[in-house]
Structure 1
Amino acid sequence: MIDRRHLLTAALGSLLTPTARSVSAPALPDATGPYALPGTFVHPLPDPVTGRRYEVWVDLPPNASTSASASAGLRPAVFVTDAPYAFPLVRALRNRVGQQGRNLADFAVIGLAGPQDESAVDMRSRDYTPSDPRMRPGRPADRYGAPRYGEGPAYLKYLAEVAIPAISERYRIAPDRRVLLGHSYGALFAAQVLFANPALFSHYILGSPSFWFDHRLMFEREAAYAKQHTDLAARIFQYVGAYEAVAPGPRFNKDGDLVADARRFDTLLRSRRYKSLRIETRVLAGEDHLTVAPAGATLGLLWALPGKGPYEA
């Protein structure tokens, strides 16, 4: 006699027990195109002298007017070097940390980008450096592998005469809240601006500056500036990771003590007793040259363009 209970149990078990057959995943539709950051603008802005096809990327705060009329008022802006990395990062920090002006002023993000057909690494090595160390007798060139170096002065001229005037007029940028943020070679370039045309920006955020470049040439530039000037009207914020010192351990630098260089730079500028100078230097624990940028940029932005909220740099 057949026990119907066993038949029912077997039938239910076959329904509830997974089988070896896999369920095929739904087909992924073809991509519709690259993702674009909403509310951003790309302005081709070539250098009339060199002919290089630079671009300027612009992102305004959410709900901001693009009007250039006088009634729109002047807005603060943060100009960033190394745009492919720094532009989306600083944009995200403004939107997330800033909370629509509560913790950070609602600033425009201006990305200083190189030509699309050019390597970003080659561009920064050429345009952000003050000299070509390979051209100097007796100076080792073992860490200099880019095609070109030393065209920082030409790039500074382009920014001062082309990019900044055009962007400032179109988007009504406030000159007293015009910030330059650079990291590594970008900070090295910011230091060049500082000693060549300090009024070009109101605030300078120098992240892990590459003061080691060309046997610390920027310290020579600082000394030359000090001989010819009695004041430096600039506000400077430096950040560097604690691991960017030379010490045993996998995250420490093997050569090039960026912590010591940043502190030396701070001490030198303070020793000049420039009445208009404001400088602050932070060494961030637990950070190295790659990880320090988001935290350091956040602190620098809170320092340069504070909002009305509870955060303090």
Structure 2
Amino acid sequence: MKALSPFLAQRLARCLVLCSALCSAVSPAGSAFAQSPAAPPYLLDNTEVRDIRAQVLGRDYQLYVALPDSYRDSRKRYPVLFVVDANYAFPVVRNIASRLHKHAGMEEVIVVGLSYAKGDAGTYSRRRDYTPTTPRRHSYRSDMPGRQPAFGEAAAYGRFVTAEVFPLVARLYRADMGRKVFVGHSYGSLLGLQMLLSQPRSFEHYILGSPSLWYDAGIMFEREKAYAAQHRDLPASVFFGIGGLERLAPGKRRSRSEEDADMVEDLREFDAALNARRFPGLKTRLRVFDDEDHASVFPFVLTHGLRAYLKSSK
């Protein structure tokens, strides 16, 4: 084949550059126009984010805060819902609480979501911060490469909430700190039980969904017995909720392990143990939601848990 002249080679190179530029501007749909700029994110009304340094833990977190619609135009103080697992639960709680106010006349509330630690994966953070102990036997794997899974810091995390989060919220918002509600689910409910059995007056009401009572061979049953042996009262209001499908599969033998736990029966047993103590200041309610499982039950637990505590005009 005859070689191209320098003039033709230069023209061919320019054509290739032009074709390359045109091809890079073509979208996957075939448009010859550059892709449009990224669309702005959807933002929840009346919400804001606060950074907080957990001095007692040496870690950084965020608080997601939702204010009532009437907040800007009023001087009143509002009950406060403190919600763990906020990356999932904060928008759910914020929207359900708002809907219950608008359509069922329920009191307005401030919602404070407690984020996972900055720089930590969600599973890593919640296992460490929400569990009461390091399990005596486990085969958990870390979701953070190069770091072993961590457990057992619920007591320290609870002190962070009461000693650092509470004062910040009280200082920045018109929060009625005499009407604080804890909202948790699964491991989050383990944290709630840890606080209930160590510093019960931290909250005026606890909403605890599907607590992982199988954790560490049923350690919270041991904690409940230890509390009862040393105290004559447990001043608290507690709403327990769980899905009716959170049961052990037929034919399997129930145990205090994650694989063979009957979470419904575990919760019934725990609630019965609390009530058998006849603590004068304790009030518990337990609701099993038929046809709901561990993943779907949280909105039902939240709705009924709020109705058990907040006032309604209807």
TM-score range, shorter chain: 0.7 to 0.9
Give SS of 2:288's match. strand
Q: Are residues 87 and 202 of structure 1, via their aligned partners in 2, closer, same or farther at CA, if it must alter by over 3 Å?
A: same
Instruction: Report which stretch shifted further, 83-92 or 166-175.
Output: 166-175
Alignment equivalent of 1:99, drawn from 99, 102, 123: 102
Question: Structure 1: any 5+ residue segments left out of the alignment?
Answer: 1-21
Contact 2:233 2:282 in 1 (8 A): yes
Matched, 1:269 2:274: yes
Alignment equivalent of 1:306, drawn from 296, 300, 311: 311
Matched, 1:39 2:46: yes
CA deviation after TM superposition for structure 1 residue 308, in Å: 1.1
Matched, 1:88 2:91: yes
1:122 alignment partner in structure 2: 124
Matched, 1:202 2:204: yes
1:212 alignment partner in structure 2: 214
CA deviation after TM superposition for structure 1 residue 64, in Å: 1.1
Taking only the aligned residue pairs, the percentage that are identical comes to: 40
Contact 2:207 2:301 in 1 (8 A): no
Matched, 1:110 2:117: no
Matched, 1:73 2:80: no
CA deviation after TM superposition for structure 1 residue 285, in Å: 0.3
Contact 1:175 1:202 in 2 (8 A): no
CA deviation after TM superposition for structure 1 residue 154, in Å: 1.2
The code of the aligned residue for 2:287 comes to R
Cα distance in 2 for residues equivalent to 1:260 and 1:143? 25
2:244 alignment partner in structure 1: 242
1:17 alignment partner in structure 2: none
Contact 2:182 2:203 in 1 (8 A): yes
The code of the aligned residue for 1:142 comes to S
Alignment equivalent of 2:66, drawn from 49, 59, 66: 59
Cα distance in 2 for residues equivalent to 1:38 and 1:285? 33
Cα distance in 2 for residues equivalent to 1:255 and 1:224? 25
Question: Structure 2: any 5+ residue segments left out of the alignment?
Answer: 1-28, 144-148, 252-257
The code of the aligned residue for 2:134 comes to D
The code of the aligned residue for 2:62 comes to E
Give SS of 2:72's match. coil
2:185 alignment partner in structure 1: 183
Contact 1:167 1:173 in 2 (8 A): yes
CA deviation after TM superposition for structure 1 residue 177, in Å: 1.6
Contact 2:59 2:118 in 1 (8 A): no
CA deviation after TM superposition for structure 1 residue 150, in Å: 0.5
2:17 alignment partner in structure 1: none
TM-score by length of 1: 0.82
Matched, 1:295 2:300: yes
TM-score by length of 2: 0.81
Cα distance in 1 for residues equivalent to 2:88 and 2:303? 15
Contact 1:103 1:307 in 2 (8 A): yes
CA deviation after TM superposition for structure 1 residue 159, in Å: 0.7
CA deviation after TM superposition for structure 1 residue 168, in Å: 2.1
CA deviation after TM superposition for structure 1 residue 143, in Å: 4.9
Contact 1:90 1:297 in 2 (8 A): yes
1:141 alignment partner in structure 2: 138
Give SS of 1:45's match. strand
CA deviation after TM superposition for structure 1 residue 257, in Å: 1.0
Cα distance in 2 for residues equivalent to 1:254 and 1:194? 26
Give SS of 2:90's match. helix
Give SS of 1:196's match. coil
Instruction: Report which stretch shifted further, 87-96 or 170-179.
Output: 170-179
Give SS of 1:53's match. strand
Cα distance in 2 for residues equivalent to 1:207 and 1:264? 15
CA deviation after TM superposition for structure 1 residue 37, in Å: 1.6
Cα distance in 1 for residues equivalent to 2:284 and 2:178? 17
CA deviation after TM superposition for structure 1 residue 261, in Å: 1.0
RMSD between superposed Cα atoms in Å: 2.4
Give SS of 2:58's match. coil
Contact 2:127 2:187 in 1 (8 A): yes
The code of the aligned residue for 1:167 comes to V
Cα distance in 2 for residues equivalent to 1:29 and 1:204? 47
